[in-house]
Amino acid sequence: MGSECTIVLGMHRSGTSALSGVLAKAGIDFGSRLLLAGAEENPKGFWEHSDIVALHDKLLHSLGSAWDNIDPLKEAWWEKSFLSTFRHDLREILKRDFTHVTHWGVKDPRLCRLLPFWQRVLKETGYRTRHVLILRHPMEVARSLHIRNGISELRASMLWLEYTLAAERYSRGLPRVLLRYEDLLSDWRLAISPLLKDPDYGLQLTPDTEMEIDAFLDHHLRHHREHDIKSPASTPLRLSQELYEQLPSLLRDGQVEEMFATTAKQLEQYRQEMAPWLDCLRSDLKNCQRKLDSSHREFNHQIDDLERENTRIKSSLTWKMGSPLRLAQNLIQSPEQTLNEIVTRIKVTPQEYGQSLIEKPSVEITSIVPTLVQVEIPPSSELLNTLAFPYRASPLVSIIVPVFNRLHLTLECLLSLIHCTSSHDFEVIVIDDASLDDTPDVLQHIHGLRYIRNPSNLGYIETCNRAAAEAFGRYLVFLDNDTQVQPGWLDALLAVFEQHPETGIAGSKLLNTDGSLQEAGAELTAEAFTISRGEGGAPDKDAYNTFQEVTYVSATSLMIKTSIFYALGGFDDVYSPAYYCDADLAMRVRQAGYRIYYQPESVAVHRRTTTRQIPASEANMSLGSRLIFLARWEDKLLLHNATSGSEMP
């Protein structure tokens, strides 16, 4: 192809974004599909191609690793045969976005570890490459990662060494420039002068461009400075600091490769010395996890017993006969609170309730909604012929359906997906959370369905995150197995992202089986109670048929870009096994600079059964998750009702 690719290398939080911003303003094209700037992390942009970041995360996962894994990748990992699919996907991205670009660049810290994979693809496609490795003081990186991700300074220093040593080793002998973040901020012209002298980088500076770069490089964004941090005592911290501090003299004397090689040997020796201790810690951790799981199961059994007893008492004749007396007592003791609870139970505002006593609807709810497409499960002899999905090597969308038992509902959901024609390629991933019925016996034989089974019951959140890690689509859709999607459901969700680039999450209109409205997006009160907009009402109201921004949408039918989901770490398992994970994800997506939209043209019927293995202790878990959510987001929540249109800060 004959064009030049500039590869920006560097550890996370090391100034790769600042360097890429400078290069972009000087003429390097990083593509149009970039991650949006983060309000707190990188307010001036990440300069990372969203599809490439998603590909990198999937690639690392397939290798049994992740961006924050301190263990080195296995030798010659890039020669694995299964990587051919990833190489094909990367070639397609480059062909689509950079075919006609003379000077383009790619930036993602994961490139430090994945550079051999790129080098093979770029060589096959005819691109010439240049490398720029930027280093920041490891103590500054460690402090930044500790604050942003909660990573210990020791672990952060191990990551710094792993990324930096890998980047230097894989780029050794190739056209490259090494520079320091502090030098870029103090005098960027001098720092990038080696790049300016090499015409193959294609940098072009004009007086206007220089003024833009001066304004772009904000010295105040360097929050964590080396002199603010005490000198370390541990080996990884010491090795990383020594390597960084000697870099200027190494560059001047031409001894970079020797020092990096020596540091790599010392790090490997340290790993070998620590290996027995790490094995003991891992063994102890597994034992603790087993004991915790056993205690959790016993706790749930006890709650189930109490809930069953509570249900037995409340269904007894004695309890029912005493209901009027309890209501009267509550009205005497707390009249206002009791009336509010009554109004809340009937799902209308006090004004709507009063009006309903005067005006009764003239038509039934089911008569004013579109005719719903219902599916029926065919006889078992015809099932496998009816249920078959086309194989998609590079699907645009991955539809994730988490299941636990209730095979008949799952089959209805899958049949609705068969009937949901779409102009876009999609794959369907059913992840089975250790069902006890015939689910595995049937689903594993469905052609074109990606069926994954958990070895044990992991809960909704971990199950969804595991499926997302296996997905190949650029977009993820989380769909409960007790739903039946309606025609146009998928294309309507995709249209939101295509027409509104700022979209982080899009959600569907959810209907009950009687045709009434179940949810038109969701809101949150200041106390973190959830409100399903329009619940129980007529779905044809203008307020619920209008595309609009909402606080969040439930994961019953939720679409999100894969790259965003990966970048945010997926559903937070602090809410395990379930509840509030979708609301929390929406808050984090919004905090990253994206928006949450309700798409009324995407319709799904939801039976409101359970996708998860959740016993009668459901209310207790929901309360616990709500308290966690409230503690995390209390300062962000506003008191507003389901139809007020108020916007989260």
Look up tokens 């974004």; give the residue: 17
Tens-place pLDDT, residues 451-485: 999 988 888 999 999 999 889 899 999 999 999 99
> For position 444, what pLDDT does the model report?
85
Q: Is the pLDDT of residue 431 over 50?
A: yes
- Position 180 pLDDT exceeds 90: yes
Q: Give the whole-number percent of the chain exceeding pLDDT 70.
A: 81
Taking each helix axis as running N to C, give the angle between helix 138-149 and helix 153-171, from 0 to 180 degrees, rounded to the nearest 10.
120
What does the pLDDT look like over 201-238, one tens digit per residue? 888 889 999 999 998 886 655 555 554 555 556 788 88
> H/E element holding 133?
strand 128-135
Q: What mean pLDDT comes out for the span 603-624?
A: 62
CA-CA distances (angstroms) from residue 336 to 340, 343, 533, 642? 6, 11, 24, 21
- Average the pLDDT over 388-403 and give the result: 86
Confidence at 351, pLDDT banded by 50, 70, 90:
very low
- In this structure, of 17-31, 295-309, 339-353, 526-540, the range with the lowest mean pLDDT score is 339-353
Mean pLDDT of 168-194: 93
For β-strands 475-479 and 397-403, DSSP reports them as: parallel
Provide the pLDDT confidence category of residue 579 given band limits of 50, 70 and 90. confident
CATH T-level fold of 4-229: Rossmann fold (3.40.50)
The CATH homologous superfamily for domain 368-636 is Spore Coat Polysaccharide Biosynthesis Protein SpsA; Chain A (3.90.550.10)
Give the least confident one: 33-42, 145-154, 209-218, 230-239: 33-42
pLDDT at 617: 46
**Judging by DSSP bridges, how do beta strands 595-606 and 483-485 pair with one another?**
antiparallel
For the four alpha carbons of 473, 479, 484 and 487, in that order, the dihedral sign comes to negative
Highest mean pLDDT among 298-307, 511-520, 528-537, 573-582: 511-520
Torsion of CA 10, 11, 12, 13, to 10 degrees: -80
Predicted confidence at residue 168, as pLDDT, reads 94
445 pLDDT tier (thresholds 50, 70, 90): confident
Pairing of strands 426-432, 397-403: parallel
Confidence at 339, pLDDT banded by 50, 70, 90 = low
| Cβ-Cβ contacts under 8 Å for 96 (sequence gap 6 or more) | none
Instruction: Indicate if the alpha-carbon torsion angle 405, 624, 344, 511 is positive or negative.
Output: negative
* Integer CA distances (angstroms), 416 to 266, 397, 432, 580, in order: 58, 16, 19, 27
- The β-bridge partners of 380 are none
Is 3 within 8 Å of 20 (Cβ atoms)?
Answer: no
Region 417-442: mean pLDDT is 88
Residue 174's pLDDT band (cuts 50, 70, 90): very high
- The pLDDT confidence band at residue 509, using thresholds 50, 70 and 90, is very high
DSSP state of 49: B
Nearest to 234 by CA among 208, 273, 205: 273
Q: Residue 256: its pLDDT value, please? A: 87
Choice between 319 and 627, residue whose per-residue pLDDT is larger:
627
Can you give the residue ranges of every domain in the chain?
Answer: 4-229, 322-360, 368-636
Q: Give counts: helices (H), strands (E), the chain.
A: 25, 16
Identify residue 559 by its one-letter amino acid code: M
Q: What is the pLDDT of residue 403?
A: 95
Give the least confident one: 70-74, 153-157, 565-569, 638-642. 638-642
